[in-house]
Structure formats: structure tokens, C-alpha cells
């Protein structure tokens, strides 16, 4: 805890106490560069839990093409001389350590991830409706993919799964995680993207304040929707799916759809709910 506390304290002062939203460009850039160093110091702390002989290799995989970057040269790994008390059992200590953290901190880790980190037949939460169970079964396989259809998805998309009226509708958020060779520079992000490594996170609730798009699918068609999404190979395929199941900004159903989303969000989480910001909504 002592090693982590100074980093959290500096995060607070950099981004809260001393951050000027209306500051000049120098202030904004200085804050961003300072965050780079905090990130790298945090990475060093994290690597200290992994096998010493793997730390350099794992860190290098986060900075492909960035070995000439100033911050990369300055902030070297400082844990190579320290061992670890964790007896790793697999050839992927990075993934194994994350699983161990989730396992041993289950009491404070929040509800289990039943969509992205669950295998088998017992992945639905207790009390899930038949709509949720059917939608979960159809959508869960999508998260096992990399690249492919995920490349065409916007960063945050809402999915309303309509029931037949006997149960509440289900809501999911599809989050597009973009793969990068590195995140060590402020500009020219496009040159560092690796679309083939993009992944999908599926959330069975609302997440994100700026949805980029929305889909509206009857539960009777959820399997067909998931299959069609998984089969998308290019922008033409994706446009066809949007034509059938998407809600474009130009759609006559646009405001009706988002009135429903806002009301549903307020119903599900009246304490934390707010109005979804549509400034970044795409017409696709």
C-alpha cells in the first residue's frame, strides 16, 4: 500500500486539486506528460508481481515501436532485482495474475463478470429474466473474438433487447477496445492502432456517458442479430446490419429510443443516473 499511495496522491493533485480545466496548452500538455510518467511507474509496480525473467518482455510488448520515445528511455524497469512470492502455474503470468487478483479480492471486486469471464452453464446471475438469459447466451460468444466485426463497431454502442411485454426489456453496452502498439505518444494515434487485436467488452447495463450508437432488437431475433454481427467482414456488411437493427440519428425512432434509454437508466439506477450525452452519436 505504501508504494501505491504516492501514485494515487499525485493522480489526485494532477487531475483534481491542481488541474485547471481552462488552463493554457502548456498546462494541458504538462499534465498529460506527467500522467505518462505516473503510468510507467504504476506499470513497474505491477511488473514486480510477475516472474523477473518475464518482466522486460511483457513491458516491451506494451511499447512496440516506442523504444525511442523520451519517457520510455527515462523510466526504466526498477524491479528486475526483486523476486516474487507468487508461484505461477501457467505460461501466461500476466493473465494468471489478473485472475488471482480477482479471485482473492472477490469481496471488494464488485459483482462477478458473467459475460466476459465466465464459461459453462452457470453464468447467468440469480434472478435473471428469461429475456436476459436468452440474450446472454446469444451475445456471450461475441467477446471471444479479436478484430473482425469488432473493427466496425463504434466505441460505445447501446443494445436494447425487447421482450414480448411479459418481462422488462434488457439493456447491454457493447464497448470496442482498440488495440495499440503503444500509448506512449500524444499524437498520431491512428498510426499506432492494431485493429486485428481489437476486443469487445459486453456489459449487461449502461456504461459510458457518450453512446456512439444504439441497436434495437426483439428478443426473438437476438440470436440472428448476434450471428449477423459476428459475420460482419467489412463496412458494407455492417451498414446492412445497421439498416436492419440500428437507430441512426436520422431515424424517425431516434428520440423515442433515447427517451426510453434515459427513463430506463433512471429506473435502474436512480442515484447515479444522468442524461446520456449524444454529442458523439454517429449516424453510421
CA 100/CA 81 separation, integer angstroms = 23
Cα angle 84, 89, 95 (rounded to 5 degrees) comes to: 80
**Which of 172 and 36 is assigned the larger pLDDT?**
172
List the Cα angle 257/130/127 in 5-degree steps.
Answer: 105
* Predicted pLDDT of residue 4: 59
pLDDT at 3: 55
The reported pLDDT for the residue numbered 185 is: 81
Whether 147 and 263 map to the same domain: the answer is: yes
On whether both 211 and 91 belong to a single domain, the answer is no
Same domain assignment for residues 202 and 135: yes
CATH number of the domain enclosing 152: 3.30.1050
Q: Do residues 177 and 155 make contact, with C-beta atoms less than 8 angstroms apart? A: no
179 and 256 fall within a common domain? yes
Buried/exposed 165-203: b ≥16 CB within 10 Å, e otherwise: eeeebbbbbbbbeebbbbebbeeeeeebeeeeebbbebb
pLDDT of residue 2: 47
C-alpha span between 44 and 207 (Å, rounded) = 29
User: Is 282 inside a domain boundary?
Assistant: no
Q: Are residues 163 and 93 in the same domain?
A: no
Q: Please report the pLDDT score of residue 187 as a whole number.
A: 84
Instruction: Compute the distance between CA of residue 7 and CA of residue 148 in angstroms, rounded to an integer.
Output: 37
Q: Which of 77, 110, 143 is the last residue of a domain?
A: 110
Among residues 110, 145, 176, the one where a domain terminates is 110
Please write the tens of the pLDDT for every residue from 194-223: 999 999 999 999 999 999 999 999 999 999
96 and 155 share a domain?
Answer: no
124 domain residue, yes or no: no
Query: Is residue 67 predicted with pLDDT exceeding 90?
Result: no
Is 281 within the bounds of a domain? no
Looking at every residue in the chain, the average pLDDT score rounds to 90
Judge whether residue 103 has pLDDT over 90: no
Is the same domain home to 149 and 50? no
Mean per-residue pLDDT, 225-235: 97
**What range defines the domain where residue 181 resides?**
130-268
Q: In this structure, are 54 and 104 located in the same domain? A: yes
Q: Please state which of the ranges 48-52, 137-141, 186-190, 280-284 shows the lowest mean pLDDT.
A: 186-190
Q: In this structure, what C-alpha cell is assigned to residue 198?
A: 481489437
Residues 264 and 137 in one domain: yes
- Please report, for residues 91, 100, 183, 219, the alpha-carbon distance to residue 87 in angstroms, rounded to integers and kept in the order given: 12, 11, 30, 45
Are 70 and 147 contained in the same domain? Answer: no
pLDDT of residue 163 exceeding 90, the answer is yes
Residue of 204, 211, 202, 200 whose CA lies nearest to 274:
211
**Does 249 fall in a domain?**
yes
Give residue 220's pLDDT. Answer: 96
Could you tell me if 168 and 85 lie in one domain?
no
Number of domains making up the chain? 2
228 pLDDT exceeds 90? Answer: yes
Domain-embedded: residue 284: no
Whole-Å CA distances, 28 to 10, 11, 12, 187, 190: 16, 14, 15, 14, 21
Domain boundary among 75, 110, 145: 110
Answer yes or no: is pLDDT of 1 > 50. Answer: no
Report the range of poorest mean pLDDT among 40-49, 82-91, 114-123, 226-235: 114-123
Confidence of residue 73 (pLDDT cuts 50, 70, 90): low
Please report the pLDDT score of residue 76 as a whole number.
65
Is the pLDDT confidence value at 51 over 60? yes
User: Residue 69 has what pLDDT?
Assistant: 57
Of these ranges, 57-61, 67-71, 114-118, 273-277, the one predicted with the greatest mean pLDDT is 273-277
Same domain, 98 and 212: no
pLDDT at 74 over 70: no
Q: Is residue 151 part of a domain?
A: yes
Amino acid at each position: 500500500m505504501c508504494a501505491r499511495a504516492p501514485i494515487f496522491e499525485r493522480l489526485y493533485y494532477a487531475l483534481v486539486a491542481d488541474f485547471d480545466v481552462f488552463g493554457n496548452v502548456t498546462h494541458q500538455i504538462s499534465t498529460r506528460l506527467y500522467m505518462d510518467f505516473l503510468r510507467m511507474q504504476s506499470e513497474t509496480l505491477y511488473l514486480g508481481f510477475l516472474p523477473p525473467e518475464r518482466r522486460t518482455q511483457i513491458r516491451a510488448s506494451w511499447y512496440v515501436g516506442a523504444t525511442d520515445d523520451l519517457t520510455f528511455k527515462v523510466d526504466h524497469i526498477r524491479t528486475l532485482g526483486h523476486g516474487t512470492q507468487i508461484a505461477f502455474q501457467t505460461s501466461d503470468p500476466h493473465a494468471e495474475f489478473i485472475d488471482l487478483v480477482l479471485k482473492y479480492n472477490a469481496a471488494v471486486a464488485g459483482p462477478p463478470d458473467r459475460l466476459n469471464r465466465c464459461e459453462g452453464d452457470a453464468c447467468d446471475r440469480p434472478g435473471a429474466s428469461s429475456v436476459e438469459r436468452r440474450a446472454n447466451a446469444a451475445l456471450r460468444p461475441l467477446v471471444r473474438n479479436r478484430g473482425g466485426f469488432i473493427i466496425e463497431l463504434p466505441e460505445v454502442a447501446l443494445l436494447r433487447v425487447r421482450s414480448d411485454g411479459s418481462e422488462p426489456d434488457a439493456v447491454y453496452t457493447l464497448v470496442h477496445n482498440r488495440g495499440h502498439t503503444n500509448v506512449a505518444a500524444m499524437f498520431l494515434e491512428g498510426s499506432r492502432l492494431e485493429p486485428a487485436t481489437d476486443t469487445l467488452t459486453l456489459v449487461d447495463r449502461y456504461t459510458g456517458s457518450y453512446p456512439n450508437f444504439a441497436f434495437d432488437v426483439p428478443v426473438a431475433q437476438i440470436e440472428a442479430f448476434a450471428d449477423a454481427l459476428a459475420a460482419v467482414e467489412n463496412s458494407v456488411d455492417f451498414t446492412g446490419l445497421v439498416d436492419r437493427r440500428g437507430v441512426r440519428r436520422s431515424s424517425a425512432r431516434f428520440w423515442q429510443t433515447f427517451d426510453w434509454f434515459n427513463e430506463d437508466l433512471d429506473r435502474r439506477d436512480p442515484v447515479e443516473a444522468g442524461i446520456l450525452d449524444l454529442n458523439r452519436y454517429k449516424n453510421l
